[in-house]
């Protein structure tokens, strides 16, 4: 196994991890920004006010994108296992 193969495999792994985490992180970011903007406009400084909407939003994002995330991870794993003999020789 050469250095370029290892770097290519690491790059693919990081890209898959980025693609899988993006819906959850973007949802949490947007909801957090919206709630903090609302809190600064209304002068409400309640810490639990930001937690519950983020929890609900991340749950909805997982329900909406979960099937795509599972298929992406399965495709990557299947491709990795199929290319394993070529990587070892």
CB 78 within 8 A of CB 21: no
- Of 10, 11, 21, 12, residue with least CA distance to 68: 21
> Residue 26: which domain range?
3-88
Mean pLDDT to the nearest integer, 38-66: 90
How much of the chain exceeds pLDDT 90, in percent?
Answer: 70
Q: Flag whether the pTM goes above 0.75.
A: yes
Q: Report, as an integer, the average pLDDT of 51-80.
A: 95
pLDDT of residue 89 exceeding 80, the answer is: no
Q: How many domains does the chain have?
A: 1
CA distances from 35 to 8, 31, 47 (A): 40, 6, 10
State mean pLDDT over 55-81. 96
Q: What whole-number distance in Å separates Cα of residue 46 and Cα of residue 35?
A: 10
Contact (CB, 8 A) for 76 and 20: no
Calpha distance 17→58 (Å, rounded)? 17
Identify which has the larger pLDDT, 26 or 2: 26
d(CA 31, CA 50) in angstroms, rounded, equals 8
């Amino acid at each position: 196994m050469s250095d370029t193969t290892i770097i290519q495999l690491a790059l693919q792994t990081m890209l898959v991890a980025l693609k899988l985490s993006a819906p959850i992180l973007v949802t949490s970011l947007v909801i957090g920004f919206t709630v903090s903007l609302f809190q600064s406009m209304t002068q409400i400084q309640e810490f639990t006010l930001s937690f519950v909407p983020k929890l609900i939003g991340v749950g909805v994002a997982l329900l909406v994108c979960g099937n795509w995330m599972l298929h992406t991870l399965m495709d990557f794993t299947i491709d990795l296992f199929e290319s394993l003999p070529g990587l070892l020789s």
